[in-house]
Amino acid sequence: MNLPISITAIASISPLGITQKEIWEQYLKDETSLSTLNFDGTDTWVGALGTKAKEEILALKESDSKYKSLDDSVLFALFASRAAMKISGWKKEANFGVNIGSSRGATALFEKYHEEYLKNKTSSTLASPTTTLGNISSWIAHDLQTQGPEISHSITCSTALHALLNGFAWIKSGLVDKFMVGGSEAPLTPFTIAQIRALKIYARETSSEGFKYPCQAFNLEKTQNTMVLGEGASVVCLEQGVPDNALAVVEGIGYATEILKHNISISTDAVCFQRSMKMALGDINPDDVDVIVMHAPGTIKGDSSEIMAIEKIFCNKVPFLTTNKWKIGHTFGASGMLSLELALLMMQHQKAIKVPYVSYDSVPETISRVLINAVGFGGNAVSILLKRVT
């Protein structure tokens, strides 16, 4: 039987908070959640966790001696996964799969251990096991005591939505009927910030005067790149069928990779997004999509190429367009799932969230279908089409 696949729970930890209620309340405010940290003597915009979220992560780290050596990328994922498990009602020792990815993995620990090696020419005992990417899903599987498959992967900024693709495929195969998928990222470190600065795409303005929104994602009139990095994790529970607690049905999935002409860029009209969106839509009329949550990283080329791709696919009626990166920054491997969280919240509350500095001709009165986009270095795009459960 070809049953649909539903999302029955979502949980996250991000600059917006740790519960769906407070996250939605933050979305209703026309205020950025970005702040500044000092990196190498320079004030830098970042999307950092708030005080309450940091306290929760510290408490988790200190709750078990085994957790004290874990990177924040693992701790963020553990926190979100526990919350998703509780919401879903899944039982421990069940046969559900886990696929939590990360673009950069154990960023802080890797930089720490590498610095130690450069200084002492020896490596710490835990350097390898605590920085290997696979430890994210392994720790979650250990913590939740699942008997199903456990997978970690890195596919740059589309990592979390690739995890959803993978969980979707496992369920469709009949090997499992439930999968926990998501992404986690803790990239707010000096070397990672320096890498993005070297690409000339990081937001440079740090003066608050006349600069209310440092990350100008989806602003096609900007004259400089404005990417800002953020941290966080987001996890959803996928199930076969449409149970009573279903939040939405995964109506379509799409993916594509384009032929590269540069290490970091995609084509002017984002051919990869055109292909992934077209695949996700399938036989559905593009006019029936109410909202698109864009990837929109805040760079000039990244934002404009995605818009051009959308206009080519939705030529008759471009849906309401939005993004959350002006609010929380770009969380790399976790970003796609945090965008999906925004999609679910808009469907649940039947309210479209505007980007405050963007002019809109119209706002949808009802939100039944939302398309979520993500793409990373290498032009590996993913598009997920969600349908509201009525």
Annotated domain spans of the chain: 5-240, 249-388
Which among 171, 380, 169 has a CA at the least distance from the CA of 255? 380
Strand, coil or helix: 8:
strand
Return contacts of 142-147, CB within 8 angstroms, 24+ apart: 143/78, 143/81, 143/82, 144/81, 144/82, 144/85, 144/92, 144/98, 144/180, 145/92, 145/93, 146/92, 146/93, 146/94, 146/95, 146/96, 146/97, 146/98, 146/180, 147/93, 147/94, 147/95
pLDDT in tens, 158-200: 999 999 999 999 999 999 999 999 999 999 999 999 999 999 9
Return contacts of 281-285, CB within 8 angstroms, 24+ apart: 281/252, 281/254, 281/313, 281/371, 281/385, 282/252, 284/251, 284/252, 284/369, 284/385
Cα–Cα dist 263/351, whole Å: 38
As given in the structure block, the two tokens for residue 186 are 């803790």
Cα–Cα dist 62/64, whole Å: 6
Which among 388, 369, 384 has a CA at the least distance from the CA of 335? 384
Cα–Cα dist 98/7, whole Å: 14
The DSSP secondary-structure symbol of 225 reads -
Report the DSSP beta bridge partners of residue 99.
151, 181
Cα–Cα dist 185/378, whole Å: 19
pLDDT in tens, 193-226: 999 999 999 998 765 445 689 999 999 999 999 9
- pTM, entire model: 0.96
Cα–Cα dist 223/112, whole Å: 36
pLDDT in tens, 379-388: 899 999 999 9
- Secondary-structure class of domain 249-388 per CATH: alpha beta
pLDDT in tens, 83-138: 999 999 998 777 899 999 999 999 999 999 999 999 999 999 989 989 988 889 99
Give per-residue burial for 310-349: e unless 16+ CB within 10 Å, then b.
beebbeeebbbbbbbbbbbbbbbbbbbbbbbbbbbbbbee
Give pLDDT, residue 206.
65
CATH number of 5-240: 3.40.47.10
Give pLDDT, residue 263.
54
Which among 341, 375, 354, 348 has a CA at the least distance from the CA of 256? 375
Task: Answer whether 248's CB lies under 8 Å from 356's CB.
Answer: no
Q: What is the mean pLDDT of residues 280-295?
A: 97
Length of the chain: 390
| Sign of the CA dihedral running 189, 192, 194, 199 | negative
Find all residues with CB under 8 Å of 209, minimum gap 6, and list them.
none
Give pLDDT, residue 1.
56
φ, ψ of residue 230 in degrees (nearest 5): -130, 170
Angle at 185 between CA 43 and CA 15, to 5 degrees: 60
Which among 263, 338, 261 has a CA at the least distance from the CA of 294? 338
CA distances from 369 to 287, 292, 309, 364 (A): 10, 9, 19, 11
Cα–Cα dist 308/271, whole Å: 9
Return contacts of 207-212, CB within 8 angstroms, 24+ apart: 212/32
Rounded mean pLDDT of the chain? 93
Strand, coil or helix: 44:
strand
pLDDT in tens, 333-375: 999 999 999 999 999 999 999 999 999 999 999 999 999 999 9
Q: Do domains 5-240 and 249-388 have the same CATH topology?
A: yes
Q: Amino acid identity, residue 78?
A: L
